Amino acid sequence: MESYIVDWLNLGARWLHFIAGVAWIGTSLYFVLLDTSLTPPQNPADARRGVFGELWAVHGGGFYHSQKFLTGPKGEPLSTNLHWSKWEAYTTWLSGMALLAIIYWYGAGAYLVDKSVMDLSAPAAIALSAGSLVAGWVVYDLLCRTISHDLALSIVLYALLVAAAWGYGQVFGGRAAYVHVGALIGTIMVWNVFFHIIPGQKRMVAEIRAGKDPDPRPGIVGKQRSVHNTYFTLPVLFIMISTHYPLTFGHRHAWAVLAVFMLAGALIRQYFVLRHTGRNVVALPAVAAVLLAGLAIALAPARPAPAPAGAAVGFARVASIIAARCAVCHASKPTFAGFQQPPGGLVFDTPEQIKAAAQRIHQQTIATQAMPLGNLTRMTAEERALLGRWLAEGAPLQ
């Protein structure tokens, strides 16, 4: 019953995370489009009112006229009917942290700790998990306060995330390492909203309503952090789906694989940002495509080596390994604690099911060694080698 309840908590938190994330990212992408598509106001009276830029748009059968005031309207009161874009971000982070707690903290023994990487106790691993998110934010925030050159800051922040990917890979298994890079990026994004963007906007609103000329610095800082957030978007979305692809997080240089995907995501995002301003810099997605194509070539699995001379590997030996190391989870009724359903719906109950999954067994158990998850069932190198020989022989069932 406990695992059933945890499954429902997982499902509920994941659905909420997805819904809130769509709302937040959609809002973020829209406002970046709006901000980069603004043109000077055509009506001189609007310029005198403090309008910095405007955009006419058509959507859903109607016409929209958006105007931006850098420091509020001049000569007229600020509307009391202000829409604040914040709860989408907060809900995304809170639900994401709930998922981290349900899957990686509650299930630390299965999902967070990989003793082949570092022999940690569950409490120590959880402390490192939570503490690293706070430490990462502190370092990021200090860098933003210290480095004034935008390009230099961007390069340093990219290096910081690559270093985090490498560091997490020295502590956790590949899947957990990727998820924690995503959690770190998500924490930075949401805490930008919570600690800088929203407080800065509130200060400006208070000053405007008090009849003062608002200090523009909070708006400048908020704009900087908002720009950072938009370039974080595609990398963090990739990390959200990467857990379905062991060829990425299961690689021996998984941090470098993630570094390429993060760079490609930032380049693609830059293309769309510039496109909103009327600049069609196709070199950006082209470079991203070349990077990803090169990565695909580099990650291509080697063909199974020809079976060595000698006696063929009997299926009975393979079946015993699968039963002991894999089928405790990958069965119609898993027996491993904490698993209510077979992961990915993959079942090894019959010889035919095992043979049908031969390519997946090669990719995840031999090529990347991403399975068994965290090597919970202690599959040995000799057992992996024997499975590899069986696969090289054509996965016979005799």
Q: Which of 299, 323, 355 is the last residue of a domain?
A: 299
For residue 130, tell me if it sits in a domain: yes
Per-residue model confidence as pLDDT tens digits over 331-371: 888 887 767 778 777 888 888 888 888 888 888 888 778 78
Q: Does residue 60 fall inside a structural domain?
A: no
Any domain includes 76: no
pLDDT of residue 308: 57
Residues 257 and 324 in one domain: no
Which residues of the chain form beta strands (DSSP E)? 51-59, 62-69
Same-domain check for residues 247 and 164 = yes
pLDDT tens track for 112-121: 998 889 999 9
Give me the mean pLDDT over the 13-35 stretch: 95
Are residue 291 and residue 333 in the same domain, yes or no?
no
Mean pLDDT over the full length of the chain? 91
Contact 230, 197 (CB under 8 A): no
pLDDT in the model for residue 344: 74
What's the rounded Cα separation, in Å, for the pair 335 and 354?
Answer: 18
Q: Are residues 320 and 285 in the same domain?
A: no
**How many angstroms from the chain centroid is the CA of residue 129?**
15
Going by pLDDT thresholds of 50, 70 and 90, the confidence category of residue 11 is: very high
Domain housing 361? 315-392
342 shares a domain with 256 = no
Where does the pLDDT of residue 149 fall: very low under 50, low under 70, confident under 90, or very high at 90 and above?
very high
Reported as a pLDDT band with limits 50, 70 and 90, residue 34 is: very high
User: Do 330 and 295 fall within a single domain?
Assistant: no
**Domain C-terminal end among 299, 330, 347:** 299
Give 311's pLDDT tier (boundaries 50, 70, 90).
low
- Angle of CA points 220, 225, 226, to nearest 5°: 95
Q: Are residues 235 and 337 in the same domain?
A: no
3-state secondary structure of 256: helix
- Whether 258 and 319 share a structural domain: no
pLDDT tens, residue by residue, 271-310 = 999 999 999 999 999 999 999 999 999 988 766 555 555 5
Both 243 and 380 in one domain: the answer is no
Residue 351, C-beta contacts closer than 8 angstroms, at least 6 positions apart: 315, 319, 397
Domain boundary pick from 264, 299, 334: 299
Statement to judge: residues 289 and 333 lie in one domain: no
Q: What is the number of structural domains in the chain? A: 2
Q: Is residue 61 part of a domain?
A: no
Same domain membership, residue 346 and residue 284: no
Structure tokens at 37: 């598509």
Q: Mind giving me the DSSP string for 118-157?
A: ----HHHHHHHHHHHHHHHHHHHHHHHHH---HHHHHHHH
